[in-house]
Structure 1
Amino acid sequence: MERRLAAVLIADVVGYSRLSQIDEEGTRARFQADLSGIVEPSIVDHHGRLVKTMGDGLLVEFHSVVDALRCAVHVQRQKARQTAAAPTQEKFDFRIGINLGDIIVEGEDIHGDGVNIADRIQALAAPGGIAISGSAYDQVKSKLQLGYVSLGEQKVKSIAEPIRVYRVLLDPSAAGTTTGVPGNLRRWRIPAVAAAVALLLAGAALWWQPWTLLWPTPVERFAYPLPDKPSVAVLPFINVTGNTEQDHLAEGLTDDLITELSKVSGLFVIARHSVFAIRDSSGKIQDVAAELGVHYVLEGTLQRADTRLRINVKLIDAVTGLSLWAERYDREYTDLFAVQDDVIGKIISALEVKLSEGERDQLARIPTDNLEAYDYYMRAEQEGFLYSDVDTYRRTLAYYQKAIDIDPNFANAHAGIARVAVDVWRNDYNFLWSAAVARKIAYDAAGQALKLDPNNARAHTVLALLQLVDGREVEARESASRAVAEQPNDAEAVGNLALILAQTGSRGQAVTEMDKALRLDPTPPPSFQLQAGIVFYTARENERAIPLMLAARDALPKAEPAREYLTAAYVNQGDQTRATQEKAKLIELFPDANLTYYSYLYDYWRDEDLQYHLAGLKAAGIPQWPFGFEGKDADLLGEAELRNLVNNMTWKGQHKNGSVFIQYFDKAGNTAYRSANTSITGNAEIRGNELCERFGGYFLDRMVCGRVYRNTGEEQRDRQFVHVTPLAVMFFSPG
């Protein structure tokens, strides 16, 4: 082990996690491009040694602090020129910290206080800027044509003594200057005789504090501007029981605090997914707050032993690093709701938030009197809404149902079932229920939740989606707006309102609401990224839609909507090459994808938006009918021939995908269809030269029209006819 004096440079990417959520591969590629194209050449040119990269950061050693600062300045100026024209969401800035100090060398690695101080200083740099320690400043202040701003002495984590910190001014006009709080001002003492006068003048000084113009605030580190109201992130409570069976209790407490605080209009509260996404972060509280863009952070631990519950909670001001309030609760488990109420009350009091009468009533409401029912509800919530398979759906539903069995008046559990059911219905997942059954369950469960709690935001959100697809625009907007009014910080409710606004003609307002939703949930799940992309796409903002859709596509590679919308968005942006690539993958995954299907699927859209979408898909090469089927006009059956073919007739045949089927039509317009996996009944009618059918519970209960052609092709020559619909190509003969 060797010790030596060295100049240490540490660089870190601003908001790397947020950028990765939008485009993980692209963000990593840009980092590597900067590393190889800008940073590494500059290190070599200035006689430094790249010790190692650390995820989105890097550690460099120099023999000269002058070389270290020259390298940093070159990198930041190169980056400034490179990113000047980049969209805001693609800005890729470094923070750089430099320290001159003692380091420990072990092999190729270095560590020690000299490195630790450089890391802490880096966090105090502005995005795209450089911060240096006092020891580094003393060596470079008269040797380089740069300016400096003193941040004074800063107390930083893991370093016993405060350290002097300076920010480097890259503007050439500032060269040779050092501004900030004068050193002698910090050493002034107010004589006792003048103390009273100073106190009297303190109030007047609040409106005139010239030194604040020279003292950069830690807020500059934040990935987002702070909201104009108190902003809070509730970090996942840590289960210190040692028993993973209690994880759901810690997560449930976190969820409930977020949900309850989200009801307060005077607060800004980060969404569940974003706080859970950083649960394994090793960064300090200030780093987490900067990443999420909040002023305050709530953290805590939970421990349960039999009937006893111990909870430790702390509210931290992330700008100053000071604790505003801390409490330890050692209670019976049955006091859980009382603890929650007390925590929420203390937060609201500490942040001096005024509650409306309605908010007070909402916060006073206990979700259920039965803790066993509540336990099952929390287990359902722990499964989350990132459903990946049928087993996850079933577990979630089972937990919600057990909660309802124990307490039939548990509104949140009914709303949870409605949320699952509407997802099954919208995505046509027939492995749990038919679409008709899922739709009915969603309506019934949402209605029951609202009967028990008229202010239930999740139930209003579900109801809005059902009303939208049913073509009830006014009611859908009212329900979505009601959900946001009841829970203004709920990213899902705000995002849902944005979707409904976009698809009912209010594009500008939709974009505003979606921006708000993404600010509440800065690292959203893939499904929410896709929804945000659809909103921006519908609003004709393809440059914002595409990165979100790409992130969703990469996370959900087999999700049809991600491929579908990307295909059309690329066309509308003029990128035919990428549109063709996405179309090819869409057809590979879903060979029956076709324009007629999409025209029915989105028949509740406004015609202008539907034609915009279909035109983009058509230009990319999406066919009119499944499997690219193209019938000849000469082979198309007319109205009279169709009536004869469905008048008390039975069809026997085979789908293009190989499934054998039989279908019967009676004289009254009823039809029955049966295959190896399906047995359904419905209605049929002739409309000109089209055969139209509706099967209860399928394809959103739509009447779907198709055509019948004589089979004159080479495929299945033993079948007389081809029936093409938006959903299938079927070869058959009447029997």
Structure 2
Amino acid sequence: MERKLAAILAADVVGYSKLMEQDETGTLSLLKAHRIEVFEPVVAKHRGRIFKLIGDGALVEFSSAVDAVECAVEIQQRLLQEANGLVLRVGVNLGDVIVDGDDIYGDGVNVAARLEAIAKPGGVCLSGTAYDMVSGKVGCEFEGGGAQRLKNISKPLRVYHCRFEADDHSPTEYENHSEEKRQSIAVLPFSNMSGDPEQEYFSDGITEDIITDLSKVSGLFVISRNSTFSYKGQSIKIQQISSDLGAKYLVEGSVRRSGNRVRVTAQLIDGGTGGHVWAERYDRDLLDVFEVQDDVTRNIVDALKVAIAPMEKQAIARVPTTNFDAYDLCLQGRNLLYEMNRENLEKARHLFERAVELDPDYSLALSGLADCESTIYQYYSSDQTFIEAAISNCNNALALDPDLPEAHASLGIALFLRGSYCEAERMLGRALELDPMLYEAFWNLGFAKLLQNDFEAAAAAYTKASKVRGDDLQSHMMLMNCLSKLGRKEELVSMAQKSLSIAKRRLKLNEKDAPAIYVGAFAHIYVDQLDQAGPWLQQAAEIDSTDPRTSYNLACAFSKVGNVDKAIELLKQSIQAGRPIRMLDWALVDPDLAQARKDPRFDEVIKFWQSKAKENIQNR
């Protein structure tokens, strides 16, 4: 068995699966042309040898790390100049390899492949060994990426990212440019005109489904439900809402449900002028509600002259169930999920179960049921049966619809909570292949990485989540946490300012908005503005929340500013509200509770927590 030292380059196309789904023939033609006209000639120029082609990827051997890096940089520069739609990630490693005929194996190859996976789109990522060899010898600068834990690699690895002239088109700017070209739109909560307040969930459900459908159109940037629903019941001018949300267009409408009939009105409005771009009224049978939603989405897309890919059309036109009663129960369940506490989660769980009883093939209902079970376990219980039930329901959903992104995301978080980390990340990755705008997948991935102390990967996931829902305070807070731990001060200050702006706007609409209050406090705390955090914390002290997450986050905020008395009080309140015993291990190491842990009363809190856990077991 021959061994030798070699530089290995691993390259892969970003978003290949989606490109293939949108235009299989065109993508294959483009990839083939790239290999013949760019990749293979540049590799040959730098004395490399392609020893393996894997679909959209390639592995290349070099005798010199300098040759490998110069080759990688030239390939990326050529692609960026041509702007033909292909974007590569490239990883370069210098390490020991095993030679078997024309093929090469070993850790040297495996590490290069893992580096490619964490490289920025359009970028080049190097191992520490490769960097040590090429630093000062190639025409690009490097940015340290810290020590990274790579999949199936036992020890953390130093990584570096190339910075070269083509970084004028860096991934962040590329993404921003793409967002600028997308039409921004917000769907305001449709009014319930049924005369029955208990039908509110139905009009809210119609609104949410239209938001979901519009989000599937890559040419649109859709403001999230969280933001638009904060205007529910408010009498505010369209132009002001448009300015607040940064949305060029707004959709508003109404729903009237009577017997077996439904009337839906919808109108598309120019946020700058307040003028109507399109309007329509639908009088249909209840069973035609999916057709109405489909028609509203298509008319909006047509009015804005936005191109829509065949795959996107199919996703929008998909009918989730033919049983209206099952759909109605699902809407009620989803509505309770947004008002999340243990009681509502149990009610939602029961509603999803009834929906599945009415239509056993309703994959979205099974996915919703799994989300209830995972969330109960995540925040309120240590009973493992919740996780096993969630995994079973996700598997059933995927057996019915293997390409349902929501089910993959649900399975991902359930597997992570069970401790199956690699499988969980694979499921979350698959969810994002199927729906690159799926917020839940980004959020779950960030949560998984954070609990593994992989702050770099967690920050990347939360950044994506905050781009999908630009107004989502929870992902902003988690991102600030990661940026603080990584010491990325400039980005942290920017995110803190953005979070404060969103929090202030939300508090104008609802002065008791607990997440807005504690995120506003943390935004000041993370940038060492403890005096300015004071008024936010004073407002937070007046919150009497039954949500253990809210109480816990507030305890962390008060501990950070040195108010241990309030931190201890809120931590006990969180436990009383149902914070599960398995979260105790995190409280014992959570950096945000460092001040509180120094207080002798913290030990009393731990004993109280353990006693509550025993009490819950006895009461089962």
TM-score scaled by length of structure 1:
0.48
Amino acid at match of 1:448: N
Equivalent residues of 2:377, 2:383 under 8 A apart: yes
Structure 2 CA distance for aligned equivalents of residues 261 and 493 of structure 1: 18
Structure 2 CA distance for aligned equivalents of residues 506 and 458 of structure 1: 24
Say whether 1:394 aligns with 2:318.
Answer: no
Structure 1 CA distance for aligned equivalents of residues 603 and 252 of structure 2: 55
SS in 2 for 1:454: coil
Amino acid at match of 2:325: E
Say whether 1:438 aligns with 2:390.
Answer: no
5 Å-filtered alignment, 1:109-148, equals none
5 Å-filtered alignment, 1:18-57, equals none
Structure 1 CA distance for aligned equivalents of residues 466 and 544 of structure 2: 19
Say whether 1:416 aligns with 2:368.
Answer: yes
Equivalent residues of 2:462, 2:479 under 8 A apart: yes
Query: Which of 591, 594, 613 is 2:591 aligned to?
Result: 613
Percent of aligned positions that are identical: 26
SS in 2 for 1:233: strand
Say whether 1:468 aligns with 2:416.
Answer: yes
- 1:338 corresponding residue in structure 2: 291
5 Å-filtered alignment, 1:322-401, equals 322-390=275-343, 392-401=344-353
- 2:563 corresponding residue in structure 1: 578
Q: Deviations over 1:340-383 (max 9, x none)?
A: 11111122222233333432322221010111211111122222
Q: Deviations over 1:433-461 (max 9, x none)?
A: x6121111111112222222223333222
Cα separation, partners in 2 of 1:248 and 1:656, compared to 1, 3 Å: closer
Q: Deviations over 1:411-449 (max 9, x none)?
A: 1111111111001111243xxxx6121111111112222
Equivalent residues of 2:267, 2:276 under 8 A apart: yes
> How far 1:308 sits from its partner (Å)?
3.0
- 1:235 corresponding residue in structure 2: 188
Amino acid at match of 1:678: Q
SS in 1 for 2:234: coil
Cα separation, partners in 2 of 1:418 and 1:355, compared to 1, 3 Å: same
> How far 1:389 sits from its partner (Å)?
4.3
In structure 1, list runs of 5 or more residues that go unmatched.
1-224, 603-609, 630-653, 662-674, 681-735
Equivalent residues of 1:234, 1:254 under 8 A apart: yes
Cα separation, partners in 2 of 1:547 and 1:658, compared to 1, 3 Å: closer
Q: Report which of the two has the higher share of strand.
A: 1
5 Å-filtered alignment, 1:462-541, equals 462-504=410-452, 506-518=454-466, 520-521=468-469, 524=472
Structure 2 CA distance for aligned equivalents of residues 557 and 376 of structure 1: 28
Cα separation, partners in 2 of 1:242 and 1:562, compared to 1, 3 Å: closer
SS in 1 for 2:281: strand
Equivalent residues of 1:415, 1:446 under 8 A apart: yes
Say whether 1:288 aligns with 2:257.
Answer: no
Structure 1 CA distance for aligned equivalents of residues 380 and 453 of structure 2: 25
> How far 1:592 sits from its partner (Å)?
13
Query: Which of 507, 514, 519 is 1:547 aligned to?
Result: 519
In structure 2, list runs of 5 or more residues that go unmatched.
1-177, 500-517, 523-535
Structure 2 CA distance for aligned equivalents of residues 589 and 248 of structure 1: 29
- 1:407 corresponding residue in structure 2: 359
- 2:397 corresponding residue in structure 1: 449
Q: Report which of the two has the higher share of helix.
A: 2
> How far 1:297 sits from its partner (Å)?
0.8
Equivalent residues of 1:239, 1:247 under 8 A apart: yes
Q: Deviations over 1:610-662 (max 9, x none)?
A: 96739836764377855577xxxxxxxxxxxxxxxxxxxxxxxx999699x9x
Cα separation, partners in 2 of 1:578 and 1:625, compared to 1, 3 Å: closer
SS in 2 for 1:384: helix
Structure 2 CA distance for aligned equivalents of residues 373 and 519 of structure 1: 32
Q: CA RMSD in A?
A: 4.1
> How far 1:530 sits from its partner (Å)?
6.4
Equivalent residues of 1:292, 1:522 under 8 A apart: no
Structure 2 CA distance for aligned equivalents of residues 421 and 593 of structure 1: 15
5 Å-filtered alignment, 1:596-611, equals 600-601=585-586
Structure 2 CA distance for aligned equivalents of residues 312 and 450 of structure 1: 35
Structure 1 CA distance for aligned equivalents of residues 288 and 479 of structure 2: 40
- 2:231 corresponding residue in structure 1: 278
Equivalent residues of 2:345, 2:372 under 8 A apart: yes
Equivalent residues of 1:235, 1:299 under 8 A apart: yes
The alignment covers a number of residue pairs equal to 401
Query: Which is greater in Rg?
Result: 1
- 1:678 corresponding residue in structure 2: 618
Amino acid at match of 2:370: A
Equivalent residues of 2:547, 2:574 under 8 A apart: no
Structure 2 CA distance for aligned equivalents of residues 593 and 252 of structure 1: 29
Cα separation, partners in 2 of 1:309 and 1:590, compared to 1, 3 Å: closer
Cα separation, partners in 2 of 1:507 and 1:256, compared to 1, 3 Å: same
